[in-house]
C-alpha cells in the first residue's frame, strides 16, 4: 500500500501537467503582451465599463466554443453552428410573437438548438458520413429555413424581461452573459479534464476503434456532443437575440469560422485527440483583446482578420518551428 503523498507524487507525473504548462503559458504570455500593448496604445482601454462592453463582442461565440472544443477533440466538427443560432432565434421570435413568456421563449431556443444538433449527430452516426460534409449541408439547410420562415420580416416582440440575457448585469460591470460564460467554462473544464465523459472524449479522439473495443459507446458519445453543441448554440442564440432585441434571418452570419478559429487557436488539434479548455478560454480572451484593442484604434475589421489569420498560423507553427530549432541545435 502507498501513502497518499506517494500516490499524489505519482499522480503529478500525469502528462497533462507538462502539456498544459507549455501551450497555455505560451498563450498567456501572448495575452499579457496584447493587454499591455493595448493599455499603452489607447487611453480608453483600461476602463472597467469598456472592458465589460468588450466582452459582449465575443461571449456568445465563446460559449459555443466550449462544447465545440470537445466535439473537435472527438474528431468531429460542426460548421452549422451559426445557422443553428439563427434558427433557434427564429423559433424564439415566433414564440415571442405568440405572446409566450420569457421562460417559454428560452426553452424554445434551447430545444431548437438541441434538435438541430441531434439532426447533425443522427446524420453523422447513422450514415457514417464525415461531419464536415454533413454540416456543410445543414449549414445551408438551417440558414435556409430561417429565410423560409421569416422572409423579409423581422421578429421583435420580445418581452421586456427577455432583455436581461443579453443586456443585463449581475453585479456592477459584470454582465450576465460574461458571468454565465465563466461559469460554463469552469463546468467544461471539469467535464473535459476531470470527468469520465471527458476521458471518453479523448479516447475516441485518439482512437475511435480502440475506444469502441474498450466498451465506449462511440456513436452515443458523438451524438451527445452534437446535441450539446446544438444546445449551446441555443444558449448563445438566447443571449444574442436578447442583445439585439430582434431576429432576422442573417443573425450570426459567418460566425462558424470565428468560433472554430477560437477553438484551434486555443490549441485544440483540428484532427482530434488533444486540446484543453483552459487553452480555449485563453484564446477567447486573446482574440477578444486583439479585436477590442484594434477596434479602439479604429482599425477596420478586415484588417483585424488578417492579424487573426496570421496569428492562427503563427501560433500553430511556432511550437513546430521551436521544436525543429531545438532538434537542429541538438544535432549540431
Partner 1 sequence: MNALFKRRETLLAIVIIAMVAAIATVTPEFIAPSNLLAAYTDTSILIILAMGQMLVIVTRAIDLSVAATVALTGMVMAMVNTQMPELPLIALLPLGIALGLVLGLVNGLLVWKLGIPAIVVTLGTMSIYRGLVFLISDGAWVNAHEMTASFIDLPRSSFLGIQGFAWVSILVIALTYVFVNKRQVGRELFAAGNNPTAAFYTGIDVGRSQFIAFAVSGMLAGVCGYLWVARYAVAYVDVALGFELQVIAACVIGGVSIAGGIASVTGCLLGALFLGVINNALPVIDVSPFWQMAISGAVIVIAVVANTHAERKSGRIILRSAVVGNH
Partner 2 sequence: DDVRIGLVVKALGIGFFEAAAEGAEEAAKELGGVEVIYTGPTTTTAEGQIEVINSLIAQRVDAIAVSANDTDALVPTLKKAQQRGIKVISWDSGVAVEGRSVHLNPSSNALIGEMNIKLADEAVKATGSSNGQIAILSATPTSTNQNIWIEEMKKVLPNYSNLELVTTVYGDDLADKSYRETQGLLKSYPNLKAIVAPTSVGIVAAAQAVQDAGKIGQVFVTGLGLPSELAGHVDSGAVKSFAIWNPIDLGYAATMISYNLVKGNATATEVSMGRMGSAMLDSDGSAAMAEPFIYNASNVKEFAEIF
Partner 3 sequence: MSVTKPLVSLRGISKFFPGVKALDRVELDLYPGEVVALVGENGAGKSTLVKILTGIYQPDAGHIEYDGAAVRLSTPDKARALGITAIHQETVLFDELSVTENIFVGQYIKHGVFGNLDWRSMHSKAAKILADIEAPISPDTLLRDLSIGQRHMVAIARALSFDARIVVLDEPTAALSQHEIQELYAIVERLKNQGCAIMFISHKFDEIFRISDRYTVFRDGTFVEQGLIRDINESRLIKLMVGRNVDQLFPKKTIDLGPPVLSVENYSHPTEFDSISFTLRKGEILGFYGLVGAGRTELMQSIFGVTQLASGTIRIHGQVIDVTSPQSAIAQGIVYVPEERQAQGAVIDLPIVENISLPQLKTVSRAGFIDNTAEYELAEVYATRLRVKAPNWYETVENLSGGNQQKVVIAKWLATKPSVVILDEPTKGIDIGSKAAVHEFMSELVEQGLSVIMVSSELPEVMGMSDRIVVMHEGLCALELERADFSAERIVAAASGGSHSL
Q: Which residues bind partner 2 (CB under 8 A)?
A: 42, 44, 47, 50, 53-54, 56-57, 147, 151-152, 154, 156, 163, 166-167, 240, 243-246, 248-255, 291-292, 295-296, 298, 300-302, 305
> Under the criterion CB under 8 A, does residue 189 sit at the interface with partner 3?
no
Among 11, 186, 257, 322, binds partner 1 (CB under 8 A): 257
Total length of the chain: 332
Bridge partners of residue 171, in order along the sequence: 174
Bridge partners of residue 174, in order along the sequence: 171
CA atoms of 331 and 45, how far apart (whole Å) = 46
> Under the criterion CB under 8 A, does residue 316 sit at the interface with partner 1?
yes
Query: 218-244 and 48-73 are packed helices; what angle lies between their axes, rounded to 10 degrees?
Result: 160
> Under the criterion CB under 8 A, does residue 300 sit at the interface with partner 1?
yes
Cell 490549441 identifies what position?
Answer: 267
Residue 212 interaction partner, one of partner 1, partner 2, partner 3, none, beta carbon < 5-8 Å per kind: partner 3
The burial class, CB within 10 Å (0-12 / 13-18 / 19+), for 320 is: exposed
Among 84, 145, 216, 236, binds partner 1 (CB under 8 A): 145
> Under the criterion CB under 8 A, does residue 302 sit at the interface with partner 1?
yes
Q: What nine digits make up the cell of 111?
A: 430545444
- Residue in 276, 295, 298 with CA at minimum distance from that of residue 287: 295
Query: 48-73 and 176-194 are packed helices; what angle lies between their axes, rounded to 10 degrees?
Result: 30
Closest CB to partner 2 among 23 and 165?
165
Provide the 3-class DSSP secondary structure of residue 45: coil
Give the range of 21-29, 220-228, 254-262, 273-281 binding partner 1 by CB under 8 A. 254-262
Give the range of 2-10, 145-153, 244-252, 259-267 binding partner 3 by CB under 8 A. 2-10
Site string for partner 3, 196-225 (x = CB under 8 A): xx-xx-xx--xx-xxxxxxxxx--------
Closest CB to partner 2 among 101 and 301?
301
Residue 321 interaction partner, one of partner 2, partner 1, partner 3, none, beta carbon < 5-8 Å per kind: partner 1
Among 46, 183, 270, 327, binds partner 1 (CB under 8 A): 270
> Under the criterion CB under 8 A, does residue 137 sit at the interface with partner 1?
yes
Contact present, 185 and 281 (Cβ < 8 Å): yes
Which residues, including other chains, have CB under 8 Å from residue 208's CB and lie 6 or more apart? 75, 218
> Under the criterion CB under 8 A, does residue 318 sit at the interface with partner 3?
no
Residue 203 interaction partner, one of partner 2, partner 3, partner 1, none, beta carbon < 5-8 Å per kind: partner 3
- Residue in 69, 13, 22, 12 with CA at minimum distance from that of residue 276: 69
- Produce one character per residue of 86-101: b if its CB has 16 or more CB atoms within 10 Å, e if not: bbbbbbbbbbbeeebe
Number of residues that bind partner 3 (CB under 8 A): 30
CA atoms of 310 and 305, how far apart (whole Å) = 8
Provide the 3-class DSSP secondary structure of residue 151: coil
Residue 163 interaction partner, one of partner 1, partner 2, partner 3, none, beta carbon < 5-8 Å per kind: partner 2
| Sign (positive or negative) of CA dihedral 307, 313, 315, 321 | negative
CA atoms of 71 and 135, how far apart (whole Å) = 13
Under the rule (CB under 8 A), what is the footprint of partner 1? 79, 123, 127-130, 132-134, 136-145, 147-148, 150-152, 254, 257, 260-261, 264, 269-271, 300, 302-303, 305-306, 308-310, 312-313, 316-317, 320-321
Under the rule (CB under 8 A), what is the footprint of partner 3? 2, 4, 7, 10-11, 13-15, 190, 194-197, 199-200, 202-203, 206-207, 209-217, 273-274
Amino acid at each position: 500500500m502507498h501513502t497518499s503523498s506517494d500516490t499524489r507524487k505519482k499522480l503529478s507525473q500525469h502528462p497533462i501537467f507538462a502539456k498544459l504548462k507549455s501551450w497555455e503559458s505560451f498563450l498567456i504570455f501572448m495575452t499579457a503582451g496584447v493587454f499591455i500593448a493595448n493599455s499603452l496604445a489607447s487611453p480608453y482601454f483600461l476602463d472597467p465599463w469598456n472592458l465589460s462592453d468588450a466582452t459582449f463582442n465575443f461571449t456568445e461565440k465563446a460559449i459555443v466554443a466550449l462544447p465545440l472544443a470537445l466535439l473537435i477533440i472527438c474528431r468531429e466538427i460542426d460548421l452549422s453552428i451559426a445557422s443553428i443560432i439563427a434558427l433557434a432565434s427564429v423559433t424564439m421570435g415566433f414564440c415571442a410573437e405568440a405572446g409566450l413568456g420569457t421562460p417559454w421563449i428560452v426553452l424554445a431556443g434551447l430545444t431548437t438548438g438541441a434538435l438541430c444538433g441531434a439532426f447533425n449527430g443522427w446524420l453523422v452516426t447513422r450514415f457514417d458520413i464525415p461531419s464536415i460534409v454533413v454540416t456543410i449541408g445543414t449549414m445551408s439547410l438551417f440558414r435556409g429555413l430561417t429565410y423560409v420562415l421569416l422572409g423579409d420580416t423581422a421578429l421583435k416582440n420580445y418581452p421586456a424581461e427577455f432583455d436581461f440575457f443579453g443586456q443585463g448585469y449581475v453585479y456592477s460591470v459584470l454582465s450576465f452573459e460574461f458571468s454565465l460564460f465563466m461559469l460554463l467554462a469552469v463546468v467544461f473544464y471539469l467535464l473535459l479534464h476531470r470527468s469520465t465523459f471527458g476521458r471518453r472524449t479523448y479516447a475516441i479522439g485518439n482512437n475511435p476503434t480502440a475506444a469502441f473495443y474498450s466498451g465506449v459507446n462511440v456513436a452515443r458519445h458523438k451524438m451527445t456532443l452534437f446535441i450539446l453543441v446544438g444546445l449551446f448554440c441555443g444558449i448563445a442564440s438566447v443571449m444574442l437575440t436578447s442583445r439585439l432585441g430582434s431576429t432576422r434571418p442573417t443573425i450570426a452570419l459567418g460566425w462558424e469560422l470565428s468560433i472554430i478559429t477560437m477553438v484551434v487557436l486555443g490549441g485544440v488539434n483540428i484532427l482530434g485527440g488533444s486540446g484543453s479548455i483552459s487553452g480555449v478560454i485563453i484564446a477567447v480572451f486573446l482574440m477578444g483583446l486583439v479585436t477590442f484593442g484594434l477596434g479602439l484604434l479604429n482599425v477596420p475589421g478586415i484588417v483585424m482578420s488578417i492579424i487573426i489569420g496570421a496569428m492562427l498560423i503563427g501560433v500553430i507553427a511556432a511550437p513546430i518551428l521551436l521544436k525543429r530549432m531545438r532538434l537542429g541545435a541538438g544535432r549540431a
